[in-house]
Amino acid sequence: MGIINRPGVKSAARDFIRGGRRSVLGLSTVYIAILLLLNGIDALFYYITDGDSLSMFVTVLVGLMSTILSAGYTLFCMGIVRGEETPFSVLFDGFGMAGRVIWLTVLMGLKIFLWSMLFWIPGIVAAYRYRFALYNLLENPELSASQAIALSGIQTNGMKAQLFWLDLSFIGWIFLTVVTAGVAWVYLTPYMQLADLGYYEAGKRVISPFPSRFSEDGEQF
């Protein structure tokens, strides 16, 4: 895996936000609003029940729903990258494969936890190794969770450090979300997601000639 042009990938991500066939910022606003609502419900139940078993059940349910919604949001962003006419209803498409998405999340969490028991650094490396597993499952539903994870391991070979520096490059934006009381998350959420998909497109070419709207140097086709 060669060096990916991070500025080029991030520039392409910004272009997607500005020129998507559907309003990326509009969908991101809806997505974040739903997550805030779910977390508000969770906090309300905890306050009312004083953290009893019902509160724990609601917390788990909110966590599962957030995971599934995240998959739907990822599907929307993948459609933007492919230049498709992606409806906002895609946000809820994750519920159609909820069981597989949840099992993938559980399996990845278990693997990362086991690696973390050796020391925290192997756990971080494992998290980057499995970075593309959800993308693989969403794009190729015929894959099992284990296959999606194994495929991610191949795709991220030689790319983990680059993904780490990609994450660090958003530190300024994360600080901006703090000083704007979270308002900047509406832009940062799709920005980070679309940039990450740019790296995924590069990773796919390691083992498969899937079509991509990102060129070899990170620029948008």
- Rounded Cα distance, 84 and 86, in Å: 6
The residue that leads in pLDDT, 159 or 214, is 159
Chain Cα centroid distance, residue 45: 28
Note the pLDDT of residue 215.
39
pLDDT at 211 over 90: no
The pLDDT of residue 181 is above 50: yes
- Which residue has 């917390």 as its token pair? 59
Write down the pLDDT at residue 47. Answer: 85
pLDDT value for 207: 56
Give me the residues paired with residue 220 across strands: 214
pLDDT at 206: 61
Q: pLDDT tens digit string along 2-35?
A: 788 999 999 999 999 988 666 899 999 999 999 9
pLDDT score of 202 = 85
Average pLDDT (57-65) is 94
Mind giving me the DSSP string for the chain?
-----HHHHHHHHHHHHHH-SS-HHHHHHHHHHHHHHHHHHHHHHHHHHTS-HHHHHHHHHHHHHHHHHHHHHHHHHHHHHTT----GGGGGGGGGGHHHHHHHHHHHHHHHHHHHTT-HHHHHHHHHHTTTHHHHHHH-TTS-HHHHHHHHHHHTTTTHHHHHHHHHTTHHHHHHHHHTTTTTHHHHHHHHHHHHHHHHHHHHTTT-----SB-TTS-B-
Give the pLDDT confidence score for residue 1 in this predicted structure: 60
Instruction: Give the model's pLDDT for residue 50.
Output: 79
pLDDT at 51 over 80: no
